[in-house]
Amino acid sequence: TEIVLENGSLSLMGNAVGTFTGFGTIIKGSVVMTENPNKYTTNLEFTADIDIAVFGQSQNQQLPVDPTSSSGTWTEDNGKITLTDDNGNQLAIVSSNENRIVFRGNFDQSISFGQQFALDANSDVEFTIEK
């Protein structure tokens, strides 16, 4: 239901060239959690509405983000959920209850600027999912 992009950095051929912050719009996706076995799968696509500062100039852009999917396992202990992806990485759960989970992750995307060049974008991202 909500995607927040923070601490964004932009690089060109490995060299830092700018920063960005933003949020997700037109969010389409699903999270399916099953029991016995305790598995989860996610499918997500959204548009990143970001404020970019590059080469001393600021601009706003709406960029479609490539559809992504992930999967892993989940556990629950005393009402707290833990998510571990298939690579063994534990996702940082900010908060959870029976209807909502907020977790942090990472955003990586290539941003094209015309036909001249593309910038690599990387940021922290906070996802909110609701039942």
pLDDT tens profile 94-104? 888 878 889 88
In the block, tokens 């209807």 appear at: 99
Contact status, residue 95 vs residue 81, Cβ threshold 8 Å:
no
| Residues 93 and 80 sit within 8 Å (Cβ to Cβ) | yes
Q: How confident is the model at residue 57 (pLDDT cuts 50, 70, 90)?
A: confident
Between 96 and 58, the more confident residue is 58
